[in-house]
Structure 1
Amino acid sequence: MKILKFLEKVPGGIMLIPLLLGAACKTFSPGAGAYLGAFTNGLITGTVPILAVWFFCMGATIDLRATGTVLRKSGTLLVTKIIVAWIATMIAARFLPEAGIATGIFAGLSVLAITTAMDMTNGGLYAAMMQQYGTREEAGAFVLMSIESGPLVSMLVLGASGVAVFEPRLFVGAVLPFLIGFALGNLDSDLRKFFGRCVHPLIPFFGFALGNGIDLNVIAQTGLGGILLGLIVIVVTGIPLMLADRFVAGGNGTAGLAASSTAGAAIANPVLIANMIPSFKAVAPAATALVATSCLVTAILVPILTGFWAKRMGHVPTDDATVDSYREGVEPI
């Protein structure tokens, strides 16, 4: 059976399929983990520790040897994405109820869902598209996108918007695994390769654990809202990213459009943030479902739109080894 190949054919499948299986477990057998004992229960429900290990390994993959041009391009996309998410969060905080929208097609939509859907780019998707449609520098521009992984950027956006107040120790704790991995990976290239191999295999594990916190009824209720959220993410983040790519980074807008997605790793952020700020716990399940749907929608539409735009602008082919020259085969999600 070619299970892995099937998962790779589904947009975001490495994360989303295990998440749906976890949600099915939660819906139809919510006590399975506790019934089977602490060992299995830890694997089924251990979202936070699994993500902490993943975040550490992700930090180890970042190489400081990237060229200045690559850092300028990736930095432009990173900063633009964060600023747009911050503005969107402030606007949402002004008009959305604290407990999120209760009814209608946007049922479950909250400030937490908007922030976490918008502030992280699907780095693997971006890298794949830039290999086909971008320049060498654009293909390597995802070297800084790993900084978005984990809850830190979402915490900064929510804090800067006045939506939430985080104690300094929580900010330190959120970024510490990443920084330790980053330091070790740059001190020893063998460690970078060693820990880098763990990034992809850990994704199904935290995907299943995340899903185990979601009732399938919540996914059904937020399905249309998640689709609309995905479209909003593409429009609201895509236009500023294209403009920044064109007028700041010196591109033609293709890289900006390719970065207008929701990262698979963003699906974890509502739960992680809710663990730190209890007031978000009520909206975290719906926010997780919305972000998961947004991830799927953007994973399907962003490559189509990017391909159309690149062909219209006249794309520059990139050789297949481009991305590997910046990071040894590690693809973030």
Structure 2
Amino acid sequence: MKPIVLITAGDPLGIGPEVTVKSLKNPLVQRVCFPVVIGEPTSLVRAGFSDKLARLIAIDSSVPLPDKPVPSFAGGETSFKAVELGIKLALKTKTPLVTAPINKQSWALYGVPYTGHTELLREHAGKEGLMMFISGDLRCGLVTEHFAVADLPHLLTQERIVAAGVHFNRALKQLGIQKPHIAVCALNPHASDNGKFGTEENEVIAPAVKALHRHKIKADGPLPADALWLAHASGQYDGLLCMYHDQALLGLKLAAKKPIVHITAGLKFLRVSPTHGTAFEIAEQNIANPSSMTDAILFAATRHLPPQIF
């Protein structure tokens, strides 16, 4: 029996409705799941949605949508309410949830107190949610996410690194890797060269790696991030535990040869999303590439990326 996959269509003024509809028209998506879309109906119909593609749970706006693709109260209202409902249904049914991109400014205009999906999901579906990304055999987890680089020395605690490592190790096992071998990235250049370029490696990250060993986790580090991406791409490690957002995404986007899927691991249900934003500048032009959204839905339905989609 095919699983149900919940899909929130994202900001109605962005490319979310378009990539959602294009993904639903993919025969493989229809073959592996029963999609249920939650979103603003006008934007979805404009993108080509019909009842033959999926069941629709409509989220209407209390004010008219703007005529142009811009951050808006209406976009924030409908996209936030869609995600709220998606979380409630996923919690109740343990059904996977795929989230098309929202716009943080639109959420702020509507008065949402969260900076994005991950923070909302942690509040309602598991405070231990770990942001991680997968592209083929490339896998990385983030210790910190949407924070200023200047705040990293204060945010990187031994406890935070250990917790991320434990959740990352568990997520890799759920992906079918029986004994994951994880590389832990350093924060500073050359892993601080034994304290010449910072103290975080010796005082925080190295003790955290030793703590991971006590959790029976095979972890190496802290190691320079630039060299680690090459080592990971060559198969030396099953995943990289990165200290901050761009340390993960810069290397991944350069090294990835297959589409990238974003997962929030450690929640009470599986949450997957594409790795792009609302892209207002190309919205409503029917030129958005749906591959990342398609892969997110396929992963949610099958827990892996089927090779035939590449």
Q: TM-score range by the shorter chain?
A: under 0.3
More helix by percentage: 1
Higher strand share: 2
Between structure 1 and structure 2, the one with the greater Rg is 2
Structure with the greater relative contact order (CA < 8 A, sep ≥ 6): 1 or 2? 1
